[in-house]
Amino acid sequence: MKKKSVVVLIAIFCCLTAFAQRQMEYLNRGVVAVPDGKGNIFISWRLLVTDDDKAGFNVYRISSGKPTKLNATPITAYTHYADEKADSNKTYTYFVTTIVNGKEQPASEKFTVSALAKPYLSIPLRTPEGYSANDASVGDLDGDGRPDVVFANAYDNTISIYRNIVPVVVPPVADATATVPLVISANNSNATVVLNGSLSSDPNGRPLQYTWYQTGSPNPLATGVIAVVVLPVGTNSITLMVSDGLASSGQTITVAVITLAQAVDQLEAVVNADVAKQQSLAAILNAALGSIDRSNPTAAINQLQAFQNQVSAQISPLNSALANTLIDEAQNIINTLSAGGAASHKALKAAAQANGKLHLNFSGIHQQTYIIEASTNLVDWQMIGVANDNGDGTFDFDDAVSTQIPARYYRVVIP
């Protein structure tokens, strides 16, 4: 009987072994990136049991919203990569893709390594008061493919659970509409343009990184919330990308650069279309255009100022909005002809406000662009914004972060 029983038990065991299904824990790709202590960023990921034996991997870095593939050929021998061109002072996001039969599969989850990050990942413990963490176990408790951590609290049989969750990230808002969309060229070839991303915002309250591109070009045109660039005559498509380290967004704007002659022609077109008795005003503009053609900026400035005076006397009492438009457009041309020579500003004044912002105020030339720069040592200066033109010859600017910096110096710069 014993022998028969043993045989039956073995038969049952073999049967169970043959038909049992293997239990597998769901895991995601597990991309992790940390500094390696040598100036590189070390990226690693999981090789899953479901991966094809001949699968390869591509590694991508996202910087300023643009993904860049880092490896020249698919990685097949290991599941890690060292990004030797990373800048430890910048925030990067990494992800990998799987290559199966020469075809790239959907991207993995992303992992962001912050600027000046430590060469390890830390878990902030929140143990109950009077307790300390004891033994720990790792496992996916909620089936999302990310390991969670369970700590046994010392002194009793309670536990603390730390879920490995992905925070809900609302992307930042890129807004480049503060950039002046029409700029006049003084040399009929190109013009200095101030790109202004100061209206951008981040709903998460994180600091933003700003990168500007000429649309269609992979190479950055400039960086920073305020950027001064030179653009050619014509229509220029510019894209602003902003990133808070976790997400990014972009906006494309158009900046038109026109010649002085085109600017006068456009002004004359407005006069002919909207002014009832335009002959005398058109004659002054034609004279100014002739002075520009003869390379006589002084005469052209005098004629445009005479145009402004006549508009103020004849049109302002009847249509103040139209008069202001004509005067402003003429002033733009005058400022370009002056090439900054007459665009100086008077003393900069500062006053603290109740909301904590520092309010800057100064006098200058209407329609002129003034950049505000700040420094903590009077040596290294950073562009922080563009002064607001109040339309009456005064300009102001509010520094929202002045309270976060012990000492800060300011200056006004004409681009």
pLDDT score, position 22: 56
Q: Structure tokens of 285?
A: 């503009």
Domains belonging to the chain, first-starting first, are 32-113 (2.60.40.10), 124-166 (no CATH), 182-258 (2.60.40.10), 275-338 (no CATH), 349-413 (2.60.40)
Q: At what angle do helices 297-314 and 320-338 cross, to 10 degrees?
A: 170
Taking the complete model, does pTM exceed 0.85, yes or no? no
Q: Which of helix, strand or coil describes residue 299?
A: helix
Q: Are 96 and 58 in contact (CB under 8 A)?
A: yes
Q: How far apart are CA 146 and CA 152, in angstroms?
A: 20
Torsion of CA 232, 234, 235, 240, to 10 degrees: 10
Among 50, 25, 23, which residue's Cα sits nearest to residue 143?
A: 25
- pLDDT, the chain, mean: 85
**pLDDT band, residue 346 (cuts 50/70/90):** low
Q: How confident is the model at residue 23 (pLDDT cuts 50, 70, 90)?
A: low
pLDDT in tens, 213-257: 998 888 899 999 999 999 999 999 999 999 887 778 889 999 999
Give the helix/strand (H/E) hosting 13.
helix 2-19
Q: For the residues of 242-292, what is the DSSP string, one character each?
A: EE-SS-EEEEEEEEEEEEHHHHHHHHHHHHHHH-SS-HHHHHHHHHHHHHH
Residue 298: the pLDDT is: 94
Distance (Å, rounded) from C-alpha 344 to C-alpha 360?
A: 16
Q: Give the separation between CA 272 and CA 282, rounded to whole angstroms.
A: 7
pLDDT at res. 169: 64
pLDDT of 386 reads: 94
d(CA 343, CA 365): 6
Q: Is residue 338 left, alpha or beta, with left meaning phi > 0 and alpha meaning psi from -120 to 50?
A: alpha
- Using a 10 angstrom Cβ sphere, with 0-12 exposed, 13-18 middle and 19 or more buried, the burial of residue 414 is middle
Q: In this model, does residue 12 exceed pLDDT 90? A: no
d(CA 302, CA 299): 5
Tokens 């903590």 locate to: 376
Half-sphere exposure of 25 (CA within 13 A, CB side): 14
